[in-house]
Amino acid sequence: MANERYDIPAKLKRACQSGSVALQSFYRNFFVDEMGVLRGEVDLRFLRELGPDESAVAKDLVRRNLSRGYTHIIQCAGDLEDQEAIHQLRAMLANAQGNRIF
C-alpha cells in the first residue's frame, strides 16, 4: 500500500504509477499528496484525459476508499461521474443520518 490511510492494492498502485500522465496525476493528487486537492489548488482537467481503462482504475480506487469518509475521495467519485458509486454513497449518507445524536 502506498499509504496506510487508503486501500490501494499493489496491482492498482503499479497501474497508476506506470500509466499515462493523467493517471499518474490522479494517483498523486488524490492518494499521495492530497493537500492541493483539499485546498482547491489543483486543476482537475486531468480526470477528463483518462482513457476508458484508466478511468476504470481510478473509479476502482475511489470506490475502495469511499467508506473512509475523506471528502476529496467522495468528491472525486462525482468528478469521475461514477454511477456505480451512487449506491455506496447513498448507504454512507443513510448510515450517517441514522447515527446522528440530537
Query: What DSSP line would sit under 40-81, residue for residue?
Result: T-S-GGGGGG--HHHHHHHHHHHHHHGGG--HHHHHHHHHTT
The answer to whether residue 24 is domain-embedded is yes
pLDDT at 3: 57
The answer to whether residue 5 is domain-embedded is no
Global pTM exceeds 0.85:
yes
pLDDT band at 1 (very low <50, low <70, confident <90, very high): very low
7-48: pLDDT as tens digits = 999 999 999 999 999 999 999 999 999 999 999 999 999 999
The answer to whether residue 1 is domain-embedded is no
Q: Is the pLDDT of residue 82 over 90?
A: yes
The answer to whether residue 4 is domain-embedded is no
| The total number of structural domains that make up the chain | 1
> What is the domain range of residue 77?
10-98
